[in-house]
Amino acid sequence: MHEFSIVEALVQRILSEVRKQGDPRVDAIHFRRGSAFSEPALVQAFEVLARDTPLEKARLEIEILNRDFTCPRCGHSQVVQSDDLVGHMFVCPGCGYVEEIDEAHDLELLSVRVA
């Protein structure tokens, strides 16, 4: 699962910074995810990776940024959701044009609040 490795990198970054501050408990973590990045995958990966760390009880605040697609061939336009992807590919329902979607750019850490 590609999303897992993206979340893992962010969690490791957060843990590294938290440990520099003496391992305070983290109250909340604010993410911005693109509409093509699966929110259930984000939450599930975070829960697994945060277990037994200062992040375990942190509340996730997740903001969504729509990833718009306009087909260069037929002009079809829509917001791309994670369910619209086949692997990392979006297939235009209007004409079959295929475009690779890199979800790594669709998850951003905005803030971390500690106790």
**Rounded CA separation 17/10 (Å):** 11
**Rounded CA separation 62/43 (Å):** 9
- Count of domains observed in the chain: 1
pLDDT digits (tens, 9 = 90+) for 44-89: 999 999 999 999 999 999 999 999 999 999 999 999 999 999 988 9
**Rounded CA separation 50/109 (Å):** 15
CATH number at residue 50: 3.30.2320.80
Q: pTM of the full predicted structure?
A: 0.86
Domain that holds residue 32: 2-114
Asked if pLDDT for residue 19 goes beyond 70, the answer is yes
